[in-house]
Structure 1
Amino acid sequence: MKKVYIIQTSLVSHAELNSLFKELVPDAKVFNIVDDSLLHDVMANGGLTEKVISRMCKYFEAAAQNGADLIFNQCSSVGEAADIAANLVNVPVVKVDEAMAEEAVRLGRRIAVVATVASTMKPSCNLVRRKAIESGLEVEVIEYLVDGALDILMKENNREKHNSLVLEMVRKAERECDVIVLAQGSMTVLLPELKDIKKPVFTSPRLGVIKAKNVLDGGKNE
């Protein structure tokens, strides 16, 4: 049985990701390393710090020492720390938003990145640009920040208000771009309300787990 370790910075996507792995990779044993201080520190400092990177590296090394066949990074805000940590382990690493970025650059030249916390915007946009370069494509990445909406969802537990704010920004992005990327996995709560959006809209959890399955099955993690 393959072992998957999910590194998480909150519990907001915990149930969904574990459910997706159970659905799509039923023969894998999934373990979770959750440290909600990571996201707190990134948000408080406006980006990665040496301490955040150090903790991420230790979690990756612990997963590898415990026999992980794949490490799955759940949080876009620490995605670039995951890139650094991946160099320390001889284990395949999949970031939740990689496949989403790959699909976005495949389908559009003007790509909207919609985020609900500022710390996610830069790494998410950088990932889209990097995937475009890897594919030999030129893209324009446009930022749409709904600052504070994540707190409304997580701390106030107000899904209706969160969805209303994000949906307004998605509609703006639809008018201006070819493809829309929802930068955080927590934004899947918006999916039932996106039926009238005509442009492609991508969220990360399912695409990320599908990529993880492909890697576990012997495919390349490009």
Structure 2
Amino acid sequence: MTLPLTLLHSTQLHCRIFDRLRDRIAPPLRLEHRVRADWLARVRSDGMTRQLAAEMRKAVETAPGRVLCTCTSLGEAADEAGAIRIDRPMMAAAAQSDGPILLVCALGSAAGPSRALLQSCLEETGRAPPVTTLVVEEFWPLFEAGQVANFCAAVAAAALEAVQVRPDFRTVVLAQASMADAAHLLGGLGPDVLAAPELALRCALDLA
């Protein structure tokens, strides 16, 4: 029997995102969802503590098969524990940008890890385009309330406004999985729009 792919989530709402993706690109794949909303709450209030990092390491080490962490606020610790962090494939793609990058972050706690990973990927390519970070935390209560469509519409509107103010952006990075559906609302915007879930799932499955 093929081992499942274990996904570490910080919200139940991410389960649906990846179930839909699995159905589209890898129907036979078994996904094992593990939701730890408390981990996100703790990292937002206290930062990444040794205790939390140890809990994450244990979760990764005891999981069957590969592990994908879908929360960018937890991504660095997940990476160190041996999991695939959801934003790494997307940031690697963004690092190929030949112009300014707009990094859109759903939470302030995710902005630092997201920007650090993007800068690391840029250093690997030798590119140094300017990166502007846009934190849209004011819309997060919509996502927490399950109003995902309204949340993504608000994120898309904020990104659109930023691009209109600075039309030389070449790439827009939607840094969190929660914002993935905003990409569809930004089609034809001009800059490339990158979202993490599909790129990460394909990476976990070694799919091109």
TM interval, shorter chain, is: 0.7 to 0.9
Conserved in 1, the CA contact under 8 Å of 2:8 and 2:34? yes
Give TM-score scaled by structure 1 length.
Answer: 0.83
Name the residue aligned to 1:157.
147
Deviation at 1:164, TM superposition (A): 4.6
Conserved in 2, the CA contact under 8 Å of 1:112 and 1:180? yes
2:205 matches 1:209: no
Name the residue aligned to 1:9.
10
Deviation at 1:30, TM superposition (A): 1.8
Q: Secondary structure at the match of 1:13?
A: helix
2:49 matches 1:49: yes
Conserved in 1, the CA contact under 8 Å of 2:8 and 2:69? yes
- Counterpart CA distance in 2 for 1:81 and 1:151 is 25
Q: Structure 1 165/25 Cα, relative in aligned 2: closer, same or farther at 3 Å?
A: closer
State the identity as a percent: 22
Give TM-score scaled by structure 2 length.
Answer: 0.88
Q: Structure 1 129/185 Cα, relative in aligned 2: closer, same or farther at 3 Å?
A: same
Conserved in 2, the CA contact under 8 Å of 1:8 and 1:33? yes
Q: Structure 1 142/21 Cα, relative in aligned 2: closer, same or farther at 3 Å?
A: same
Amino acid at match of 1:208: A
Deviation at 1:115, TM superposition (A): 1.1
Residue pairs, 1:22-101, within 5 angstroms: 22-45=23-46, 47-63=47-63, 67-68=64-65, 70-86=66-82, 93-101=83-91
Conserved in 2, the CA contact under 8 Å of 1:24 and 1:209? no
2:103 matches 1:113: yes
Name the residue aligned to 1:188.
180
Ranges in structure 1 where 5+ consecutive residues have no aligned partner = 87-92
- Counterpart CA distance in 2 for 1:205 and 1:53 is 23
